Amino acid sequence: MLLPKIALAQINTLVGGVNQNVEKIIAFASKAKEQLSADLVVFPELAITGYPPEDLLLRPSFLELSDQGIEQLLELSNQVALLLGAPRTSEDGLHNCALLLANGEIQAQYSKYELPNYSVFDEKRYFLAGSKPCVFELAGVNIGITICEDIWKECAVEASVDAGAQLVININSSPFHAGKVAERYHLVANKARKLNCPIIYVNQVGGQDELLFDGGSFCVNADGALMQRCECFSEQLDFVQVTQSQDSNTSFALDAGTVAAELDEHASIYQALVMGVRDYVEKNGFPGVIIGLSGGIDSALTAAIATDALGSDRVAVVMMPFYYTSKMSMEDAESEAKALDIEYHVVPIEPMYKAFMQELTPLFDDVSSDVTEQNIQARCRGVLLMALSNKNGYMVLTTGNKSEMAVGYATLYGDMVGGYSAIKDVPKMMVYELAKYRNSISQAIPERIITRPPSAELAPDQIDEDSLPPYEVLDAILELYIEDDVSPRLIVEQGFAEDTVYRVVNMVDRNEYKRRQAAPGVRISRRAFGRDRRYPITSGFKKILPGS
């Protein structure tokens, strides 16, 4: 009995780029048929439109374009069957669907049961939920279709097996966060064991604005054993062969294939940041990026990520020294630029700063210097970077990390200017870890940048701890408050100083207005600023210190 060979097409789609996505589907499907002799090629969720299409789904012309894309693929389905995701309109409304295209027609259509409406997801804004399982027969095997969130809940996969599925395929657009690969595998393996049914899990790969999809498609047998896994952070076409099961309790199994090694935490986060920057720049058509290289750890890591993402010929950096810029910073910035072989410029900001102060001093009414003058320095640098961006078309990459963005340790229209942020969701302590990881590949970031105390160098002998708690303490408090929604009182009960906790929490809350104006950036945590965490700027909800 000839059992089906199923290809897993882990592709990087472009949201809204229906024609480009269809071309890619055709290319991968043709290769799967010609080189792998596949009987079925499985693509990710909403592969036709890219995920998430957001309010494009509200445009009738966009849905028409999606339908036209499906029609283009029907001819190809005479050669090889395709299973892919697309939005489909029915009498009751719009559904997030998986379509089986075979023999020149749509032979099966499944509507996603579970519509996620939390974290970065808002599918209930657009779609109606399905309520019926879909099982089709391929070369004697009954295959059930499910989509992404369906496998995380108790209903859709179970209904598919109850309807006779002997193998379940789950197509996905599952975003990355640190630890997600292992989390997915354990979930799917447990589901397979519970239902005594092999599962094929196909995920998309690539960056889409702040979201990053890591791929990592895989297959498990009914006992939960991992039989095949694709690489993360790259497009891939692989296959799995369905065979007769040796277990009398289940009819079919999956042959062992190539199992890519699981990346460690630092490698996976770093590769996610590189892919996020590359796809944002490439998909938006920028020729390259420009970065303010200060000699500090954040801009140093950002420059390394950008170079690995785009190549040294598409990255330019500018050192913009002032009175308080140390000789060490100047030396280290130049040293890194040479190590990365990127374009390097030095533009002092002293003349600009003096011109601003000459005009502003009469208006300051002899008020002593404060953070205002520091912000003017940062804004001089922002003007320079944006001027260079306007002139050569390079996009400015901002360099602020998650810890700084959380507490507002950044200057609006200064160091916050730019189109995208590589490390916006990376806490400060992880910045150091990633710098060490990058240097383990090849020496790129001078050791002094990693070991010296961090400083904005906006005032004499300034270090970050003049204004903030030590970063190891700050990051721990921020993770509890931002990612886990732990109340200040309970954070204090975990052993943190009460005045420090409430100081940090108040800084987070009052700087929402800054974050709302910040550039988008790669999401690598369970809860990033932006789509994940939507707090009002104007709010009367306060966390009052006990006894105050």
- Reading phi first (left if > 0) and then psi (alpha if -120 to 50, else beta), residue 507 is in alpha
Across 107-121, 297-311, 533-547, the highest mean pLDDT is recorded for 297-311
Give catalytic residues, as residue numbers. Answer: 45, 112, 148
**Which pLDDT value is given to residue 534?**
87
Specify the residue for token string 């799995």: 240
Distances (CA, A) of 220 to 186, 372, 526: 10, 59, 25
DSSP collapsed to 3 states, 3-39: CCEEEEEECCCCCCCHHHHHHHHHHHHHHHHHHHCCC
Q: pTM to 2 decimals?
A: 0.93
Mean pLDDT for the stretch of residues 523-545: 83
Under DSSP, the state recorded for 259 is: B
Spell out the domain ranges in the chain.
5-263, 267-464
Give the per-residue pLDDT at 536.
87
What superfamily does domain 267-464 belong to in CATH?
HUPs (3.40.50.620)
Task: Look at the block and give the residue holding tokens 């055709």.
Answer: 26
Task: Determine the average pLDDT of the residues in 134-163.
Answer: 95
**267-464 and 5-263 share a CATH fold:** no
More confident residue, 35 or 466: 35
Please give the backbone phi and psi of residue 101, each rounded to the nearest 5 degrees, phi first: -105, 125
**Sign of the CA dihedral with 377 first, then 378, 383, and 387 last:** positive
Predicted pLDDT of residue 271: 97
- Residue 368 — pLDDT band, cuts 50, 70, 90? confident
| Model pLDDT, residue 547 | 39
pLDDT beyond 50 at 548? no
Give 163's contacts (C-beta < 8 A, 6+ positions apart). 133, 135, 144
Q: Is residue 456 predicted with pLDDT exceeding 70? A: no
pLDDT at position 381, please? 94
DSSP 8-state symbol, 314: G
CA distances from 169 to 166, 239, 385 (A): 10, 13, 48
Q: Average pLDDT, stretch 123-131?
A: 94
The predicted model gives 288-306 an average pLDDT of 96
**What pLDDT score was predicted for residue 252?**
83
Q: Are 228 and 34 in contact (CB under 8 A)?
A: no
Given this model, what pLDDT does residue 251 score? 81
Instruction: Note the pLDDT of residue 250.
Output: 80
CATH number attached to the domain at 5-263: 3.60.110.10
**188-220: per-residue pLDDT in tens?**
999 999 999 999 999 999 999 999 999 999 999
Amino acid at 131: S
Arithmetic mean of pLDDT, 284-300: 95
Mean predicted confidence (pLDDT) in 346-365: 91
Distance CA 101, CA 78 (A): 9
Mean of pLDDT values over 212-234: 96
Mean pLDDT along residues 130-145: 95
Rounded Cα distance, 300 and 314, in Å: 16
pLDDT, average across residues 47-69: 96
pLDDT at res. 9 = 97
Please write the tens of the pLDDT for every residue from 399-440: 999 999 999 999 999 999 999 999 999 999 999 999 999 999
Cα separation of 113 and 119, whole Å?
18
Cβ distance 57 to 86 under 8 Å? Answer: no
What pLDDT, on a 0 to 100 scale, did the predictor assign at position 211? 95
Q: Give the per-residue pLDDT at 544.
A: 58
Q: What is the mean pLDDT of the segment spanning 311-324?
A: 94
